[in-house]
Amino acid sequence: MPITSKYSNKQVEQIIDDMFDVLEKHKTSPELALMVVGDIATNIINANVPAAQRAVIAEKFAKALQTSIKKD
């Protein structure tokens, strides 16, 4: 069953495009880009998720990331 999001594809794609523009502006290497994105995810979880739920949310995020990686 597909996951339904409350956010439009257009909204998500625009934010992704904006973030890629910032990374390109700074000539960011893949390693640095992943470090920055990881730090952003960590900061969002720590600032917006109750402490008791952080590990569960981080685990779900990690699993979603793993399932979205191309395996070719």
Q: Domain containing 42: what range? A: 9-68
- What pLDDT score does 56 carry? 97
Tokens of 20: 């890629």
Pick from 25, 57, 26: which is nearest to 41 by CA? Answer: 57
Domain assignment of residue 4, yes or no? no
**Number of separate domains in the chain:** 1
- What pLDDT score does 4 carry? 72
What is the C-alpha separation between 61 and 64, in angstroms, rounded?
5
CATH of the domain at 37: 1.10.3390.10
- What pLDDT score does 1 carry? 47
Domain assignment of residue 26, yes or no? yes
What pLDDT, in 10s, does the model give residues 1-53?
Answer: 456 778 899 999 999 999 999 999 999 999 999 999 999 999 999 999 999 99
- What pLDDT score does 3 carry? 65
DSSP the chain: -PPP-SS-HHHHHHHHHHHHHHHHHTT--HHHHHHHHHHHHHHHHHHHS-GGGHHHHHHHHHHHHHHHS---
Domain assignment of residue 14, yes or no? yes
Domain assignment of residue 55, yes or no? yes
